[in-house]
């Protein structure tokens, strides 16, 4: 993707989620390929079907579906830049005739006809959607009878409280006032009780799917509490956890004095680079059939 004038969604996918580090990017893309395969496996995609890739991003799931024999993939996203990237990639792969591109939000899939697709997929999309019930309603609307959903969504509520008692999974002993100032930057942008990324869990996804008329429904929760892998401090500073928030470096420069930044760095850098922190993460994978 070009580095010129990207919107925040495209910029995050291209650079900010990797901290600008090619090795981190390669590692994460390998992990995402495994996620793509799980999503498509649970979708039970059949050759010749139409798949709607909601919040397509750079087209991870959509292009995987084309490789598996989908007749048509509809790439849908709120980012014009990302849709442009997918169009360019489809042209290079010589699959443009099997693709459609629709600029739309997950809870308002305008331009996609009723009962026109066989499979709807998401990967880390509903976490950004405030009206999740409306999104499930739209999935049901565009699916044919017997159509399937395969939704892969992080459950960010899991471990959120524990992480905030420390910071980014590590403890900065004696610097509680400094880390509180830093946390306030992120808490103001994403309040724990009201932000769409934090205000739901796997039980809500089950309820919403059932209320939208999907049956049967299967949900698998993968919840982990484990040691953080050792990581470059500079990469950690330049990584944004999602497209809506600043990097750690940007937040530190925004609210901390030079002395506070130096003291926090002295405390956290050896912990991060030594892999001494704790990581808590959960992901829900929900699949279901439209009756």
Query: Which residues partner with 208 through β-bridges?
Result: none
The structure tokens listed for 208 are 């919403």
Mean per-residue pLDDT pooled into runs of 10, the chain (291 residues): 74 93 92 97 97 97 98 98 98 98 97 97 97 98 98 90 58 82 92 90 98 98 92 94 95 96 93 88 97 93
The H or E element spanning position 226 is strand 214-227
**So what's the pLDDT on residue 192?**
82
**So what's the pLDDT on residue 20?**
87
The structure tokens listed for 175 are 């610097």
**So what's the pLDDT on residue 166?**
52
**So what's the pLDDT on residue 138?**
98
Cβ atoms of 106 and 122 within 8 Å: the answer is yes
**So what's the pLDDT on residue 167?**
57
**So what's the pLDDT on residue 1?**
44
**So what's the pLDDT on residue 279?**
86
d(Cα 1, Cα 81) in Å, to the nearest integer? 9
**So what's the pLDDT on residue 2?**
43
Instruction: Kindly report the pTM of this predicted structure.
Output: 0.93
Under DSSP, is residue 149 helix (H, G, I), strand (E, B) or coil? strand
H, E, C per residue of 138-193: HHHHHEEEEEEEEEEEECCCCCHHHHHHCECCECCCCCHHHHHHHHHHHHHHCCCC
Q: Which domains does the chain have, with CATH numbers?
A: 8-290 (3.40.50.150)
């Amino acid at each position: 993707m070009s580095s010129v004038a990207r919107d925040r969604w495209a910029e995050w996918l291209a650079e900010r989620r990797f901290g600008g580090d090619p090795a981190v990017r390669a590692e994460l893309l390998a992990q995402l390929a495994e996620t793509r395969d799980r999503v498509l496996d649970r979708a039970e995609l059949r050759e010749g079907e139409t798949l709607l890739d909601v919040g397509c991003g750079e087209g991870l799931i959509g292009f995987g579906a084309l490789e598996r024999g989908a007749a048509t993939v509809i790439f849908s996203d709120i980012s014009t830049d990302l849709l442009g990237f997918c169009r360019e990639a489809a042209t290079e792969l010589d699959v443009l005739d099997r693709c459609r591109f629709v600029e739309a939000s997950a809870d308002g899939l305008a331009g996609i006809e009723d009962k026109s697709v066989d499979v709807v997929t998401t990967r880390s999309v509903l976490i950004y959607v405030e009206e999740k019930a409306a999104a499930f309603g739209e999935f049901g609307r565009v699916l044919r009878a017997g159509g399937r959903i395969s939704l892969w969504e992080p459950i960010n509520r899991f471990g959120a409280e524990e992480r905030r008692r420390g910071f980014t999974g590590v403890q900065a002993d004696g610097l509680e006032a400094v880390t509180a100032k830093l946390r306030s930057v992120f808490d103001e942008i994403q309040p724990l009780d009201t932000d769409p990324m934090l205000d739901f869990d796997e039980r809500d996804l089950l309820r919403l799917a059932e209320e939208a008329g999907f049956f049967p429904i299967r949900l698998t929760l993968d919840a982990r509490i484990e040691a953080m892998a050792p990581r470059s401090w500079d990469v950690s500073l330049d990584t944004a956890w999602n497209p809506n928030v600043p990097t750690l470096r940007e937040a530190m420069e925004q609210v901390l004095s030079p002395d506070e930044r130096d003291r926090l760095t002295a405390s956290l850098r050896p912990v991060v680079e030594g892999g001494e922190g704790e990581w808590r993460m959960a992901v829900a994978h929900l699949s279901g059939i439209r009756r």
